[in-house]
Amino acid sequence: MKRTSSHRLLAHGRTFAAGCVVLLLLAAGVWSSWDSAHHIVLAKGREHGTMVVTSCGEDACTGSFSPEADARERPAVTIERSVAVKKGERFPVVVKPGTGHVVRTGVPGFLHAWVPLGGALVLAALVMGGGMRLTRTAWGTGIAGAALLTATFIAL
């Protein structure tokens, strides 16, 4: 059966709409990740040190900060609570400028900062495969997102 122009238009419209959803998912993933990741990626000139976790609440953990080189000592800093932060644990951090909040650095911190992008890649793969019919691209995108999430789980 021959496709009519209305069927082609509908197919192109579906592909365009799915493409917009994919772009929205990926942009949201990068935006969410960049909030923490830019402190790690662009860490030159920031205060670096080591945090020892002393207590944890529902949303955040607090602890002491031992500075490196030019950083000043702080009696208490806070870090966002995650499954990787436990009382008594010690890890390298960078201080967010103008605050008492810190972000974990090193490979585990870098991977943890990009977790929202990993989730967005997995979700975008589903839309690519189902809505855009780009199965190979969807598999590649999904595997990349799953690899990022798995690497983060192993690193932390």
User: In CATH, what number is assigned to the domain containing residue 74?
Assistant: 2.40.50
Please give the Cα distance from 151 to 156 (Å, whole number): 9
Whether residue 137 is found in the same domain as residue 89: no
| Structural domain contains residue 109 | no
> Contact 49/68 with Cβ under 8 angstroms?
yes
| Domain co-membership, 84 together with 48 | yes
Indicate if 19 and 50 belong to the same structural domain. Answer: no
Domain span including residue 30? 5-40+114-155
**pLDDT tens digits for 8-56?**
888 899 999 999 999 999 999 999 999 889 988 888 888 899 999 998 8
Residue 57 belongs to a domain: yes
Full-model pTM: 0.84
21 and 68 in a single domain? The answer is no
